[in-house]
């Protein structure tokens, strides 16, 4: 897709380029360096989106976020670049990668993810936006797993498309995929949310098309760690399950957390206890008051800036 914000005559950009915002970076230096390499590659390929943020959901302590830019980013209703479905937000589940080493079928995991999406959709804090499911298309529909050291674990050689849905639940990936985030990541990371933002293809500057002082979200991909419950592995006793208590890992609870990121929320606390705490503490299938307060702040003016 060659259309850019500049070509549409509606460019609103920040005053600094991605490559110059070293003062605004946060996270592990190795991950930030990998993110910069990915963005240089995307720039060389003439693409109009860049990697902006990676959020990790872990079992136990860990580095919760890696950000190239400190500025927050939000979805823009009616955004023509992402083929926005009006003021709705769309998602899909890559069912072909939904089966887990711990014995869940793709039907089980997809249904749990659907329940998590429906839970957010039913919250009063999101009563101005509808969350709609898209059918999984043929071919590759993910971007991040083609980049840098993560590309080793891409299961489809065809180029991924960022235009199939706003939020893509990419499926269950192997231990080594999560080791690329940090040493020991394969043992501790349950899920990862990866956020891309739009940039002007001529200047490389991130865009704020609607002037709300937030960067414009292009797409978000969510990856789950299949090492949990793998027979013979260090996390064999922590299997993915449905409505399963610790030491098991409940799919719906993790999906609810990751989807909170995809809708725009960051990590909270703890305390207080919330779905958006950065460390998994067991079944949590209902947003807390603080989760909903954060979501209300994000969407109170939706679909207007």
User: What string of pLDDT tens digits covers the 305 residues of the chain?
Assistant: 333 443 333 333 333 344 433 335 788 888 899 999 999 999 988 889 999 999 999 998 766 888 877 678 999 999 998 999 999 999 999 999 999 999 999 999 999 999 999 999 999 999 999 999 999 887 788 999 988 888 887 766 666 777 899 999 999 999 999 999 888 899 999 999 999 999 987 888 899 999 888 999 999 999 999 999 999 999 999 999 999 999 999 999 999 999 999 999 999 888 889 999 999 999 999 999 999 999 999 999 999 76
Indicate whether 257 belongs to any domain: yes
The answer to the question of residue 116 being in a domain is yes
241: CB partners within 8 A, 6+ apart: 102, 104, 229, 248, 249, 250, 251
Which of 69, 77, 298, 94 shows the shortest CA–CA distance to 195?
A: 69
Q: What is the pLDDT of residue 156?
A: 65
pLDDT of residue 175: 95
CATH number of 99's domain: 3.40.390.10
User: Which residues span the domain enclosing 47?
Assistant: 18-299
Residue 10 domain-assigned (yes or no): no
Evaluate whether residue 3 is within a structural domain: no
**CA 239, 240, 245, 247 torsion-angle sign:** positive
* The pLDDT value given to residue 20: 37
The confidence score (pLDDT) of residue 305 equals 61
Q: For residue 139, tell me if it sits in a domain.
A: yes
| pLDDT for 157 | 60
Give me the number of domains the chain comprises.
1
Structure tokens at 158: 């065809």
Q: Is residue 193 part of a domain?
A: yes
Inter-residue contact 164 to 92 (CB < 8 Å): yes
* Residue 9 confidence (pLDDT): 33
Question: Cis link prior to 271 (omega < 30° from 0)?
Answer: yes
Report pTM: 0.91
DSSP 144: G
For the chain, the C-alpha Rg in angstroms (whole number) is 18
* Domain assignment of residue 199, yes or no: yes
- Which pLDDT value is given to residue 23? 37
Under a CB-based contact definition with an 8 Å cutoff, are residues 102 and 269 in contact?
no
Contact 126, 293 (CB under 8 A): no
User: Is 93 within a domain?
Assistant: yes
């Amino acid at each position: 897709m060659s259309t850019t914000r500049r070509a549409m005559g509606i460019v609103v950009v920040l005053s600094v380029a991605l490559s110059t915002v070293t003062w605004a970076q946060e996270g592990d230096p190795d991950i930030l360096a990998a993110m910069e390499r990915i963005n240089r590659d995307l720039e060389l390929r003439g693409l109009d989106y860049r990697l902006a943020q990676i959020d990790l959901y872990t079992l136990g302590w860990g580095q919760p976020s890696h950000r190239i830019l400190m500025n927050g980013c939000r979805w823009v209703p009616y955004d023509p670049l992402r083929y926005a479905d009006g003021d709705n937000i769309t998602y899909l589940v890559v069912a072909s990668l939904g089966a887990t080493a711990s014995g869940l079928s793709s039907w089980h995991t997809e249904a749990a993810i659907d329940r998590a999406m429906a839970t957010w959709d039913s919250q009063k804090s999101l009563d101005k936006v509808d969350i709609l499911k898209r059918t999984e298309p043929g071919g590759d529909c993910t971007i991040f797993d083609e980049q840098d050291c993560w590309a080793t674990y891409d299961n489809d050689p065809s180029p991924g498309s960022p235009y199939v849905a706003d939020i893509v639940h990419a499926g269950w990936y192997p231990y080594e995929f999560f080791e690329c985030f940090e040493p020991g990541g394969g043992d501790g990371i349950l899920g990862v949310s990866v956020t891309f933002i739009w940039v002007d293809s001529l200047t490389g500057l991130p865009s704020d098309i609607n002037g709300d002082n937030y960067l414009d979200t292009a797409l978000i991909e969510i990856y789950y760690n299949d090492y949990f419950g793998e027979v013979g592995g260090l996390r064999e006793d922590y299997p993915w399950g449905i409505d399963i208590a610790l030491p098991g890992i409940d799919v719906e609870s993790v999906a609810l957390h990751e989807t909170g990121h995809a809708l725009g929320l960051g990590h909270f606390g703890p305390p207080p206890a919330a779905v958006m705490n950065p460390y998994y503490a067991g079944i949590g299938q209902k947003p807390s008051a603080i989760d909903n307060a954060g979501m209300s702040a994000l969407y109170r003016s939706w679909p207007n800036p």
